[in-house]
Amino acid sequence: MYLRRLAQLYAGLALYGLGAALQVASRLGNDPWDVLHQGLARQTGLSIGTWAIIAGALVLMLWIPLRQRPGLGTISNVVLIGLFIDLFLWLLPHPGGPALRWAYLVAGILVGGFATGCYIGAGFGPGPRDGLMTGLAARGHSMRVVRTTIEVSVLALGWLLGGTVGIGTLMYALAIGPLSHLFLPLLRIGPGPATRSEAPPTAVAPRPPVPSARL
């Protein structure tokens, strides 16, 4: 069972990197955190995946005052998703025409939803961004307000830095929550019910979605 959970965790992280890479490559709009990562990449010359790792590590440091405890999945999320994003961006063929760009976008969102179910369902802890939100919510703040505030800020900053915001951002926001809730019960093999730092996503797994109002 443990080996199966490990395999599902790392398969999920790899697939999440693939889904993010497909959405970025479509050039039709990223999820909010990748808008930020792409904006930072365009300003600094570092890759999107590198900034995903840096941002994840910085967010994880904010767990310390919140007394959140990372799991194996949390640490693996920080390190591996960025590596997989860069790998798949390098491997994926350039989508020349509109049809292929739309195919990349739709496939990226679907793969991201399935990947969320895989790695959260393995029961090794949430991603750093989810843990930050649940930690703040546990201090008496509304999860909706916390989520909206953080992601509006991330999206706005990423857009100002040159990250791609578009129809794909809206589609991701509308679809990723239902997809995650569809796949998570089917793929959950982790031990027992979710704890505070292992709460199932209401919208996203490594990086939660943006409500449509943010656009």
Is residue 120 within 8 Å of residue 200, measured between CB atoms? yes
Number of domains forming the structure of the chain: 1
Residue 215 within a domain: no
Tokens of 23: 């959405």
Q: Is pLDDT at 51 greater than 60 in this prediction?
A: yes
What is the band of 197 on the pLDDT scale with cuts at 50, 70, 90? very low
| Predicted pLDDT of residue 161 | 97
CB 179 within 8 A of CB 109: yes
Is the pLDDT at 200 greater than 50? The verdict is: no
Q: Is residue 92 situated within a structural domain?
A: yes
pLDDT in tens, 15-49: 999 999 999 999 999 999 999 999 999 999 999 99
Residue 120 three-state SS: helix
- Taking residues 95-113, what's their average pLDDT? 95
Angle at 80 between CA 15 and CA 83, to 5 degrees: 85
Q: Read off the pLDDT of residues 60-79 as tens digits, 9 standing for 90 and up.
A: 999 988 888 899 999 999 99
Q: Quick one: how many helices (H) and strands (E) in the chain?
A: 9, 0
Mean pLDDT of the chain: 86
Mean pLDDT of 187-191: 76
Look at residue 213 in the predicted model and tell me its pLDDT: 30
Give me the mean pLDDT over the 147-155 stretch. 89
Q: Is the pLDDT of residue 198 over 50?
A: no
Is residue 98 pLDDT above 70, yes or no? yes
Residue 93: how many CB atoms within 10 A of its CB? 8
- Mean pLDDT of the 197-215 span: 38
By the 8 A CB rule, do 89 and 48 touch?
yes
Give the lowest-confidence range in 83-92, 111-120, 123-132.
Answer: 123-132
Of the two residues 144 and 198, the one the predictor is more confident about is: 144
Domain that holds residue 50: 2-188+195-210
In a domain, 205, yes or no: yes
